[in-house]
Structure formats: structure tokens, C-alpha cells
Amino acid sequence: MMNHPLSTACSSSAALFAMTRRLRLLRDSGRRWQRGLLAVLVLIVTATSVEAAPRVLSVEEFNRTPKSGLVGKELAVQGRLALVGKNRLKLKRCEMNFEAPAGLPPLIRRSPDVEVSGRVVNTEGRFQFIVSHIRATPTDLQRYEEKRRAIRVETAEAWYELAAWAQGRGEFYDDAALLERSAEARRRGFQIERRRLTREDPATPFALARRVEELGLGTALQQELLHEGYVQKFRTLNDASPAEYRQLAEEIAAALPGCREPLEPLPEELKSTYDTDPFGTYTSADAEKRRTLHRLLWIAVMQKAIESDAAEDGSNGFEIAARLDEQLPELHPLAETYRDRALKLRAEKVANLPLPEVLALRQQYADRDQVQQGDAVVESWLALRLRQLPADDTEGLLDLAEKYRTLLKRPERAARLLFDAYQRHPDSPIIAARIEELGYRRKGNRWLTQEEFDAVPEGRLEQALREGRVENGMTADQVLKSLGKPGSVTRFASSSQISEIWSYQRAGGLSLTVYLVRRLPQTETLVVGIGQLDER
Amino acid sequence: MPAVPAPAIRERLAALAKQFYSPLRAVVALIVLFLAITCGWIWHQRALASAHNILIETIPPAREALDRHHLAEAAGYFERAAAAVDTLGRSDPEAQWIRQMQRETRTALNLAPHSLFEMIEEAIDMEENPGPLEWSEAFRFTYEGAWVIIDTSAVRPPEAGASTPDRVELPFTIRGQPVSLLVDLRPFRTVLIDAAPQRMIFAAQLADCHRTADPQPGWEIVLRGETAFLWSDARNLAAVGFPEDEGLRQTLTTQSRLLGLE
């Protein structure tokens, strides 16, 4: 009858323990020769027991090993119980049956992982494993934890080794939990490896990304590293050539998905967060958001590539704007600023442009819904022409007035120019006719709009003049016409103005005083007040 | 012990002189005195020569500046020229003219910042809308000491002994309130020949502007009589904006003659 497997397993260690105890007793008694003899015996027993320990194979190893080579040898197989009968058992993923003619202990039935010791025998060409004894072993997950705890000095290699073990077991048994542990161990190992490398080197993230691929740590981590690498690379490209920026953009587009998918609209808030903290934003983003971030990075690089071609004075603003609109439609507002600058530059050079180009420039403004700016260009051009006009060039003045009227639809400005021309040539019927064409009517020496003319059939001052009165705003000449020469005039000079008091004696001791002021450099002295004094 | 009488000062000085006097010292003192007088004389001659040169250098460009109505430039030249004629101790008509021009150009550059109308308006505004600043303070800050050139008609002031200064009634009202200009015309007694109103052009500094109840509620503008002086040059007036006319030229010619500038 077979010994109990557990007692069998412990027999050699019990003998070893008994001899060790005996040795201690002899040492205490002082019999040296006996002590030496016993030591020799301990060594012999130990050597015998080590030699007797069977070779332990995993089921995977056992499956791979040719059975003919194992026949007759004492060995142990460690694995997971699949089926347990009265006298036999089956391990998971193992073809061979394990026969226990003496029967199996009941405890075994509750142990998922066991180590079965015995011999492979060949019975009529069929291999069988005859179990000599069996014991329960920790599960793979428990063993994983033991191995994990056993890692005293955290090195990447130690974690990778653990990960490889767990992965082998996990894959063999299709054990998701163990595979998860394997991935965890690899991540730990990778983190240690990542910490070891300097982050300042732009090549580091790329090297780590390759490692992630080798370790199979997933595309998310790989993209995170690639993103980090490209951001660092972009940052180091200070004042690089447009070609270098374009090359980088190509690399990014090839490595990170979503770069060529325009964003509609540009997520301003996300962009702001990303600009502030690109790595943190990326790490916390989900896969969908990461695609957006890839695009934002690509936009930044391409923007740099395009803007590097921009002339400092903004002269090629239209070309830059067109490229921005074509390749980075999200940056349309930026493209518009380039167009604005280019237009402004052209507008600044308006003095040297011929009229057709000025009108073309205005049309460009109009096309951009900037009608006022376009008109300002034309007005600047006209103003410059006006400034260059010789004082006696009435023909030129008429021509400019016509341009103000037709190009700018500014009849009042045209009228002002014509008034100037009329002052120079009051007898010119052509100038008068042109002013009248603009809807002005002449009243005395003044030109009035039709409305003014109609509203004031007889001007306030004219009426006062006719009635022999004085009104504020009258000129000194009009006062003279209205009231005649004053009895006395007093003048005061103060800074930048001359004040006058004209005094008229009236019947009954009353005196009428008219106050006039001429503010320099004006030439006209105007009435600013009228008073009545009783001089009695 | 009887008191010893103190020696008289003259005796003490004589004793002191006797103590320091020696023929050699007397000769040295005379030489030093001679040298000092000589140096002073040379310095004085140089100052006179320099003043002559200044007059030669400044008068033509001053006239040109006046013709161009460049008051500030002209004032600069006349300041130097006036100092030069003072150094020379001249009082001939040309010297008087230079001093007069210096006064006129300086006055033209320091006229009141606003007209008298505006000044009264400002006073009434401050009275009607009291603020942290009273009108009297505002006046002191803005107007007191500023010059006004006045072209008006005046009559000969009362004979000597009259204590009240002559009042020039400004025949105008601001917001219904009469305004009087108070100026002592006694310095101009020589100009104002008879009791008939006579046109005169003069300048004076503003001294005060206050509300008055006598003879009727209104405002009184007081000019500093001691600063008042008659005007003489039409170009200076034109430069400040006065309209030129024949009457003004005649008045100025008369005033120039009375001032002894011709």
C-alpha cells in the first residue's frame, strides 16, 4: 500500500531535522568526535535527498518533452487540475492521464493547482504517468504575487522577466487575469526604463515608443510617446526652414491619426488648454479627443511652415493667406489678417499707384466686405493728388472734384473743392454750373444746399439786416450796414483775440452796445452779444 | 584812583595812521588806487563799447522781426537793446523808443488769456455755481498781472487833488449786469488835452475784478494805474491782431510824439 503522499513528501526533511537536533545535543555535551561523525552523516543525507528531488516540469514543458526520454525517470509535473477521478487525474492542457493506483487524497479535489510526482511508464506503446505522490501548490496568480513581492530591487529586467513568465502561463492557459498581470508587470518595467531615460532628448520618446511597440503595451501609450516626441521636436525647431517644418508635419501626419482631418469649427477651449499644457491634455484625452489634438499639433507645425515664408513687410500676405486657407482652413481668421496687412501695405503705397490699381485695390476691399477701407484708399489717393495740385490749377481741381463725386459718392467733398475753385474764379460759369449740378444754390456770396435754400428763403441775418437789427453771428460789415457807424468803439486785445464794443446812442439816454470778437487767426469779426444800457 | 579820560577818536585815528604810515606804504597805496581806477575805467569803456555793439547788432533784426510780426523774436532783441541803452545812460528819442518797444513787445507777449467778456462770464459762472475755488482766487491765479491793451475814448481827468481815480465806463452788460473799467488816467493827463472824448491806446495790467453795488449792481474791473503806458507802435498792435486803420495810425503818431519818441 502506498504511503500517504503528504507524509512521504515530508519524510526526508523529518530525518534531516532529527539529525540536526542530535548534532546540537552532541555539541552541548562536548563529544567532538561524535559531533564530527554526525556532521558527515547530515551531509550524506542532505546530498541523498537533493539527488532524490525529482525534476519539476510545467505542463507546457512536459508536453514539449518527448515522452520516450522520460520513461522510468522520477519527475514532477506542475499544473492546473482539469479532472479528478478516484484513481486518476487530468491536468489542463495536458494530453496524458495521471494514474494513482493507490487513490488520490480528498484534499486534492479542492486544490486548483497541484504538483504531481511520479514516473512515466510505457504500457504497450502507450505512455502513462504513474503518480507516486501529489501535493497542492499555489495558483499561478499567487505565484505571480510571490514573485512580484520577491522583486526587492526594482529593475526593468526583473519586471520584464516576471511579465514574460506571467504571459507564458497566461497564454498557455488562456488566463485573462494572468495576462493582465503580465501587462501590468511590463508596464512597471517600462516605467522604470522610461524614468531612466532623459526627457530633454527629443529622441527619447521615439525610442520609448519603439520599446512600447516591442513590449506590446498598446497604441495609446505609443501615441502618447510619439506625441511627446513630436511636440519636443517642434519646440526645438527654432527658426527652422519651412522645409524642415513641412518635413516634421509629414512625419506627424504619418505617425498620429487624424492630422489631416480638418476641424469644424476649431475647438478654441481645447486649443487653449492644449497650448498651455500639451502633455497633460494629451494624457487625459480619450482616443477621439486625441485625434483632435493630433490635428492641433499638425496645424501648429504647418502654420509655422507657412508663416516662415511670410515676408516681413507683409507683401506676400495674399499668397500666405491662400495657403493657410487651403491647408489649414481652421485658421481662416489668421489668413484674413494676412490679407488685411497686405491690403494695408498696398494702401500705404497708394500714392505711387495709378488710378486703375487704386480702384482694383478698393474692389479687393469691397470683396472682403471692407467697403470703408476701400473708400479710404481712394480718398487717400485723391487727397494726395489734391495736395500735389498747383494752386492755380483750376482744371485739376475740377477734375478731382468730379472724381470725389463719381468715385467716392462724396458730393459734399466735391462741393468743397468747387467752392474753393469758385473763390479763386468767382466769374467762372463752368465752376458755378458744376456746383449747381451738385444741387447747390447761390445766395449772395454763399452756396447753399437746396434744403438750406428752401428752408431759409430769407436768411436770419439778411432779415435782421433788412430790419435794421443786429444778430449774433453777424460780421462787423453787416453791423455797419444795419446800424451804421457806432458812436464809440472800444477794443481790447487779449491773447489770441480782439474784443470790440460798439456803442450806439439811442433816444431817451439808452445806449445799444454790440460786442464783437475776432479769434485769431480768423479774419472775420463776429457779433457775440448785444446789450442795452440805460445811461441816465 | 582818578579816571583817565578816553582819547578822542580823531586822536586815536591819528595815532593809528602814524603807526602805519611810512613813505613806502603811501607810494604803494597810491599805485594800487591808480591801478583800480584804471581797471574800472577800462571795464566801463568796454561795457560801453559792448553796449554800442549790442545796439548795432540788435536794432536792425528787431525791426525786421517786428515787420514780420514775430513778437517773441523782437522782444528778445529789444530786451538786450534796452539794457544796452541803460548802460550807455542814454535818454535821447532813440533810447526812449527802444525802451518803449521793449515794453510793448513784452506786454504783447503777456496778454490776458481770455477777453474781458469771457473773464466776466467766468466770474458770473463761478458766483452762480460755487465750487471749491472762489472767483477772487481764480482771478489771482489766471488774470492778475496779465496785460490788456485797450483802444478807447477817454476824457481829461479831474485836476490834481482829486482822490478818486478816473472811471472809464465800459458800455456793455454781461447777462444783464453792467461792467465798469476802473483805471487811473492821471498819468495820461498830458495826453488828454481837453474835456472832449479823445481816442487813446494804452496797456495796463489787470489788478482786480470784483462784484460791486455802487453805483449800481455790477462788476468792476480794476487796472493797475502805475503800470499803464501809452502805446506807440502800429506793428506791435498788428502783431496781436488789432485792425489797422488811419485813425489808429494817427492816434499812435500823436502818442509817440507825446512820449518823446520822435
Residue of higher predicted confidence among A522 and B104: B104
CA distance B259 to chain A (A): 21
Interface probe, candidates A490, A511, A514, A536, chain B, greatest B C-beta count within 10 A? A490
Residues (pLDDT < 70) of chain A are 1-53, 106-110, 198-200, 347, 387, 391, 444-445, 454-460, 533-536
CA distance A371 to chain B (A): 45
**What's the rounded Cα separation, in Å, for the pair A253 and A296?**
11
What is the overall mean pLDDT for chain A? 80
The residue extents of the domains of chain B are: 23-109, 116-230
Q: Looking at residue A360, what is its pLDDT?
A: 87
- The CATH number given to A55-137 is 2.40.50.200
Residues of A in contact with B242 (CB under 8 A): 491, 493, 498
B247 has a chain A CB within 8 A of its CB: no
Q: Do the chains contact at A494 and B152, CB–CB below 8 Å?
A: no
Interface probe, candidates B172, B175, B240, chain A, greatest A C-beta count within 10 A? B172
Q: Do the chains contact at B241 and A498, CB–CB below 8 Å?
A: yes
Phi, psi of B183, rounded to the nearest 5 degrees: -145, 140
Q: Do the chains contact at A494 and B242, CB–CB below 8 Å?
A: no
3-state secondary structure B143-184: CCCCEEEEEEEECCCCCCCCCCCCEEEEEEEECCEEEEEECC
**What's the rounded Cα separation, in Å, for the pair A352 and B154?**
65
State how far Cα A409 lies from the chain centre. 47
Fold agreement between A349-455 and A468-534:
no
In DSSP terms, A99 is beta-bridged to A88, A130
Sign of the Cα pseudo-torsion (A337, A339, A341, A347, in order)? negative
Tens digits of per-residue pLDDT, B140-185? Answer: 888 899 999 999 887 765 665 555 556 665 657 787 788 888 877 7
Tens digits of per-residue pLDDT, B177-229? Answer: 888 888 777 777 766 666 677 888 999 999 999 998 876 788 889 888 889 89
CA distance A522 to chain B (A): 10
Percent of chain B with pLDDT over 90: 28
Q: Looking at residue B43, what is its pLDDT?
A: 94
Q: Which of B185, B189, B187, B220 is nearest to B206 (CA)?
A: B220
Q: Which of B185, B243, B203, B208 is nearest to B108 (CA)?
A: B203
What the block records as the C-alpha cell of A278 is: 500639451
The residue extents of the domains of chain A are: 5-52, 55-137, 310-348, 349-455, 468-534
- The CATH number given to A349-455 is 1.25.40
**What's the rounded Cα separation, in Å, for the pair A316 and A312?**
9
Q: Looking at residue B244, what is its pLDDT?
A: 83
B118 pLDDT band (50/70/90 cuts)? confident
B2 pLDDT band (50/70/90 cuts)? very low
Sheet holding A510-519, edge to edge: A526-534, A510-519, A497-505, A488-494, B147-154, B198-212, B218-230, B177-182, B167-174
Q: Looking at residue B212, what is its pLDDT?
A: 87
Nearest Cα residue in chain A from B147: A494
Q: Looking at residue B76, what is its pLDDT?
A: 92
Q: Looking at residue A14, what is its pLDDT?
A: 37
Considering only the beta carbons, identify the residue of A494, A511, A532 that sits closest to B113: A494
Sign of the Cα pseudo-torsion (B36, B42, B48, B51, in order)? negative
Q: Do the chains contact at B111 and A491, CB–CB below 8 Å?
A: no
Taking a contact as any Cβ pair under 8 Å apart, which residues of chain B between 109 and 138 contact chain A?
111-117
Residues of B in contact with A529 (CB under 8 A): 117, 172, 174
Domain covering B23-109: architecture: Up-down Bundle (1.20)
- The CATH number given to A468-534 is 3.30.160.300
CA distance A492 to chain B (A): 5
Residues of B in contact with A491 (CB under 8 A): 150-152, 242
Residues of A in contact with B198 (CB under 8 A): none
Residues of B in contact with A522 (CB under 8 A): none
Tens digits of per-residue pLDDT, B54-81? Answer: 988 999 999 999 888 888 899 999 999 9
Considering only the beta carbons, identify the residue of A491, A513, A525 that sits closest to B151: A491
Considering only the beta carbons, identify the residue of A490, A511, A531 that sits closest to B152: A490
CA distance A510 to chain B (A): 11
Residue of higher predicted confidence among A424 and B1: A424
